Amino acid sequence: MANQFLVKETMAAMRNLSASEIDGLKGNNPVYAGVQLLGYYEKGDTPAPIIYHYVDLQNEPDPGTDDGGSIIEIGNNKLRHDFKGADIYDIYFGYKTGVFFTKEQNNLKLNSMYNSDANSIVHSPGVEADISESLIIDNENLKIEGNGFVIRQADNSSLITYTDRPLIDIISNGVMIEDLVLDDNIQNNFVMLGANKIHAANPGDIPGVTRTGHDVLVIRANNVVVRRVVVEGASWTGIKVTYDPNNVEVNNVIIEDCVVNQTFRDSISIMHCRNVKVRNNKINNGIHHQIHVYTNTLNTEVSGNHCFNNLTDIFHWYTGINLENYERGCIIVDHVSYDKKTVNTVISNNIVISNSLSDFKAGVVTQGYPENVSIKNNLFIRCTRGLFIARGNPVGDICTITGNTILGSVNGVHFWPAASGGNYGGKTTPQQSRTVLSANNIESSDIAIRVSGSVENVQNFYSLYNVLLEGNTINGKPDLTLSQELNFSGNALGTHKIILDLQIKSAVLVKQLF
């Protein structure tokens, strides 16, 4: 009967259409309206049959390269299924446990799936796909259900030499990704320097080597949710939120319940954005920062995260790099220029554990003029410094530090008002200002609250300006609970007061532990 479907049980059978069957798909009055495919490897192994239509390449645009799912090429003929608005199960592209494709095939299949205008992508559990090109997600309101699907950088893919080519790049709004595993495969990607393999390097780390490393997951769009994603290693940053392709700040991003392991730079990086939540993630082992909030951000929440660092677990391919050149602060709040501030950051209910005093140099660092930072109800264990409050805002930052527990540190809270020739916003340079340190439990082997730094060529300098210490419980040496160690040099003219308007109320010294 005219315009009936030609039925095939498997993809292999459809690829083996006869010349007469193909002819029956052609023309203005074809014998068949299309090919109905009942399964991929066997009848019924897909959620439902789908229809492929013949593409008249003489009168229609070429739909592209055979991707094993939406476009099928048979000789000089092409069939196409349009997944627009549909739920794509990856079996429609041939993915199933025990089946492996080449990196070139995976590049094509995954990019086709993620940019098909589908409603959702449902991956199969227990499947791994190696890729050698960035996966760019340009499909608005797409939901990706990973189900443990592994996307891995292929061996020797060269992606690490391109700083602008992450493993996955989200550039469309409304994307949600859940339960994917992203493996940067650091051990099998490197550049050669003589006989040495360089797996990751910052400029200046190793003579003769430029930046080596790339980001794994980059978010450059609004209203994005990344949930229960596992990042297994990153030669640069694990998850990054930054401005969109038009250099506009992105808005409303949630990163939650993820696991990020073994990163070279930041585990999670937040910049050029508004209203970002980083919560309930587990982050293990990195040689720089684990959560970094900086440069042109507004309203960032960092809460409920569990961070751990042990340098002895840092993979051997970082040898040759001086780890002491890296700050290793766990949670960092800062910005790089006065006109692109980091404003309204809440750091709460996080657990930060350093395996030894040197594995995290600080639990939280604020530096570079952030404004309105709240650090509350966190637990810091064995960090060199529990909190490192550095280079405050000359026009009046507001920092509230309350309810935190700092255990096993050298310095519980370290104010470091170092400055050099600063005059910002028409102001002279009082440093840590309008700061409240209250109701914290501080245990330190040396100085519970320390003020130190070097000041050069600065006029009218105040180290602490309108700072309140109230109701803190201090466990440590009673004669070293507050120490001031500022050094002034250069043309340091005008008024110099180490402390102005410092109030200490009800600081409770419980016992001498050391």
pTM for the full model? 0.91
Tell me how far apart the alpha carbons of residues 450 and 350 are, in angstroms, rounded to a whole number.
23
Say which residues have a Cβ less than 8 Å from residue 43's Cβ, sequence separation at least 6. Answer: 9, 10
Q: Which structure tokens are listed for 484? A: 């001031």
Say which residues have a Cβ less than 8 Å from residue 345's Cβ, sequence separation at least 6. Answer: 293, 297, 300, 301, 302, 333, 370, 372, 373, 374
Domain residue limits, the chain: 4-80, 86-292, 327-514
Tell me how far apart the alpha carbons of residues 499 and 431 are, in angstroms, rounded to a whole number.
10
Closest by CA to 404, choosing from 433, 364, 367, 356, is 364
Report the DSSP pairing between strands 385-390 and 120-122: unpaired
pLDDT of res. 320: 64
pLDDT of res. 212: 79
Each residue's pLDDT, cut to its tens digit, for the chain (514 residues) gives 456 999 999 999 999 999 999 999 998 889 999 999 999 999 999 999 999 999 999 999 999 999 999 999 999 999 999 999 999 999 999 999 999 999 999 999 999 999 999 999 999 999 999 999 999 999 999 999 999 999 999 999 988 778 889 999 999 999 999 999 999 998 898 888 778 787 777 777 777 777 778 899 999 999 999 999 999 999 899 999 999 999 999 999 999 999 999 988 899 999 999 999 999 999 999 888 999 999 899 999 999 999 999 987 775 556 566 667 777 899 999 876 667 889 999 999 999 999 998 899 999 998 877 889 999 999 999 999 999 988 655 555 678 999 999 999 999 998 877 654 444 443 445 466 678 889 999 988 888 888 776 666 555 555 666 778 888 888 766 555 666 655 544 444 344 344 444 555 444 444 333 2
Spatial contact of 464 and 500, defined as CB atoms under 8 Å apart: yes
Angle at 193 between CA 188 and CA 195, to 5 degrees: 80
Q: What's the DSSP call for residue 19?
A: H
Q: Which structure tokens are listed for 113? A: 């799936």
Tell me how far apart the alpha carbons of residues 347 and 390 are, in angstroms, rounded to a whole number.
16
470 beta partners:
438, 505
DSSP string for residues in 33-93: EEEEE-BSSSBT-SSS-EEEEEE-TTTS----S--SSSEEEETTEEEE---TTSEEEGGGG
The amino acid present at 477, given as its one-letter code, is K
Query: Under CATH, what is the fold of the domain 86-292?
Result: Pectate Lyase C-like (2.160.20)
Report the DSSP pairing between strands 473-475 and 430-438: unpaired
Residue 395: strand, helix, or coil: coil
Q: Which structure tokens are listed for 226? A: 């990344």
Q: Which structure tokens are listed for 9? A: 């049980």
Report the DSSP pairing between strands 482-489 and 461-470: unpaired
Angle at 389 between CA 387 and CA 392, to 5 degrees: 165
Q: Which structure tokens are listed for 414? A: 């370290």
Q: Which helix (H) or strand (E) covers residue 110, if one does?
A: helix 103-114
Q: What's the DSSP call for residue 463?
A: E
Tell me how far apart the alpha carbons of residues 378 and 372 are, in angstroms, rounded to a whole number.
17
pLDDT of res. 494: 40
| CA 278, 282, 283, 289 torsion-angle sign | positive
Tell me how far apart the alpha carbons of residues 488 and 490 are, in angstroms, rounded to a whole number.
7
Tell me how far apart the alpha carbons of residues 281 and 275 are, in angstroms, rounded to a whole number.
17
pLDDT of res. 481: 63
Q: Largest alpha-carbon pair distance within the chain?
A: 98
